[in-house]
């Protein structure tokens, strides 16, 4: 049974790093899990070792043994041996390019399909969809493909907001996602505001958060997602 926890962000409002979702992560994890592998490839302006230390310190209350995949001689074997996969945020293009470079796409897909829990935030959540085409990030590198892990059958837009700046004439987030849906009319996008997440347990995909999310489709009115709603059937 697939188990995924897809967090919009690592921070929420003024909370410390990964503090807001900590209780949900604890409830999400099956008992007995200890060995986790952390994938820090999305980190660009932070070293992978510092990033790993940040995550390990934030999740210390969970008593996990978190290995930095970049410290391992064989990343594929590191994924295959993991009891939990953690994928951090940062730049989605850098993350995807690195997963292709290390030949980890199939390895992660196979592990998650076999029931290994996957927790991602920001870019790590975007990576769980069919493609990264609904990321908010700049394409600072060019991955071989935009095709991502395809662990869930919908696109994700983390950090979603409808806020606009007075006097700013660039496209809103909703307008940019409408552009995507215009050229990918059979797709749908889960707009995931900060502090919210999607929990996947087998065929049950549940929205969680105090802020309403959205399901966006081509030329169809947006469907509002509230805490506890079924994402697949919304």
221 catalytic residue (yes or no): no
- Return the closest-CA partner of residue 109 out of 4, 206, 231, 189: 4
Question: pLDDT of 126-166, one tens digit each?
Answer: 999 999 999 999 999 999 999 999 999 999 999 999 888 88
Catalytic-labelled residue, pool 10, 122, 125, 174: 122
Paired tokens of 24: 């949900």
Paired tokens of 166: 């007075």
Give the right CATH number for 3-225 from 3.40.47.10, 3.40.50.880, 3.20.20.70, 3.40.50.2300: 3.40.50.880
8 A C-beta contact, residue 25 and residue 5: yes
Paired tokens of 231: 């994402």
φ, ψ (nearest 5 deg) of residue 182:
-65, -30
8 A C-beta contact, residue 143 and residue 97: yes
Sort strands 118-121 and 3-7 into parallel, antiparallel or unpaired: parallel
Question: pLDDT of 94-119, one tens digit each?
Answer: 999 999 999 999 999 999 999 999 99
137 catalytic residue (yes or no): yes
Paired tokens of 159: 């950090």
159 catalytic residue (yes or no): yes
Catalytic-labelled residue, pool 8, 9, 52, 137: 137
How far is it, in rounded angstroms, from Cα 82 to Cα 180?
Answer: 35
pLDDT at residue 223, rounded to an integer: 97
pLDDT at residue 162, rounded to an integer: 87
Is the pTM here over 0.85, yes or no? yes
């Amino acid at each position: 049974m697939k188990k995924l926890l897809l967090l919009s962000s690592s921070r929420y409002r003024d909370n410390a790093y990964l503090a807001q979702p900590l209780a949900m992560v604890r409830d999400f994890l099956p008992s007995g899990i200890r060995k986790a592998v952390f994938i820090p490839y999305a980190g660009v302006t932070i070293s992978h070792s510092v990033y790993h230390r940040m995550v390990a310190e934030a999740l210390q209350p969970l008593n996990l043994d978190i290995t930095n995949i970049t410290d391992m001689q064989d990343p594929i074997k590191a994924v295959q041996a993991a009891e939990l996969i953690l994928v951090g945020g940062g730049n989605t293009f850098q993350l995807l390019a690195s997963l292709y470079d290390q030949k980890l796409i199939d390895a992660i897909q196979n592990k998650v399909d076999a029931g290994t829990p996957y927790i991602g935030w920001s870019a790590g959540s975007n990576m769980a969809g069919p493609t990264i085409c609904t990321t908010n990030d700049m394409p600072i590198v060019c991955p071989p493909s935009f095709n991502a892990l395809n662990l869930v059958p919908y696109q994700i837009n983390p950090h979603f907001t409808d806020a606009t700046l007075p006097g700013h004439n660039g496209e809103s987030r909703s307008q940019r996602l409408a552009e995507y849906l215009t050229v990918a009319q059979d797709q749908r996008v889960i707009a995931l505001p900060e502090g919210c997440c999607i929990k996947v347990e087998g065929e049950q995909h549940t929205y969680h958060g105090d802020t309403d999310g959205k399901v966006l489709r081509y030329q169809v009115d947006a469907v509002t997602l509230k805490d506890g709603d079924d994402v697949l059937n919304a």
